[in-house]
Amino acid sequence: MHKALWFFSGLVVAVALAAAWMFLIAPRGHHREARMDEPVMRAAMLEKQRERFGSFDTNADGTVTLAEWEAFHAGRFDAADSNKDGTLSPDEMRAARQANKKPGDDE
C-alpha cells in the first residue's frame, strides 16, 4: 500500500512539474517570435514617438511648450468639430478617431 501511495505521489509531482514547465518556463510560439522581432518593433516605436513629438514641437527646439501643446490640441479639436458649433458630439469624435487612424494602428 505504501509503495502505491509513493508511486502515485511521485506521479502527481512529476505531472505538476511538467505542467509548470510547459506553461510557465517553456517559451511559447508567438512569444518567441515577438522576442525575435523586438529590436525591429522597438525601432519602429521610437520612430513613431519622434514623429509625434515633432508634431508638437513646432519650432523644433527640442522641447514642447504649453502653447505648442495647446495649439496642437486646439487644431485637432477644430478639425474634429465638423459643424463648427464649438462642441464635439460622439459622432464627431468617432469620425475624428477614424480619420486619424493610420494603417496598422490597433486602436
Where residue 5 falls among pLDDT bands split at 50, 70, 90? low
Q: Is residue 38 assigned to a domain?
A: yes
Q: Is residue 2 assigned to a domain?
A: no
Distance CA 63, CA 56 (A): 9
The pLDDT, as a whole number, for residue 15 is: 75
Q: Is residue 50 assigned to a domain?
A: yes
Residues 96-104, mean pLDDT to the nearest whole number: 79
* Region of poorest pLDDT, from 3-12, 48-57, 87-96: 3-12
The model carries a pTM of 0.46
* Range(s) of the domain holding residue 51: 31-64
The pLDDT, as a whole number, for residue 16 is: 75
The pLDDT, as a whole number, for residue 56 is: 86
The pLDDT, as a whole number, for residue 61 is: 92
The pLDDT, as a whole number, for residue 31 is: 53
Distance CA 63, CA 46 (A): 17
Can you read off the three cell numbers belonging to residue 70? 495647446
Q: Does the pLDDT at position 103 exceed 80?
A: no
Distance CA 72, CA 88 (A): 16
Distance CA 89, CA 81 (A): 8
Task: State how many domains the chain has.
Answer: 2
Task: Render the burial of 90-100: b for 16+ CB within 10 Å, e for the rest.
Answer: eebeeebeeee
Asked if 77 and 54 sit in the same domain, the reply is no
Cβ-based neighbours of 95, under 8 Å, separated by 6 or more: 80, 82
Residues 8-14, mean pLDDT to the nearest whole number: 74
- In Å, how far are 45, 73, 94 from 52, measured between CA atoms? 11, 13, 21
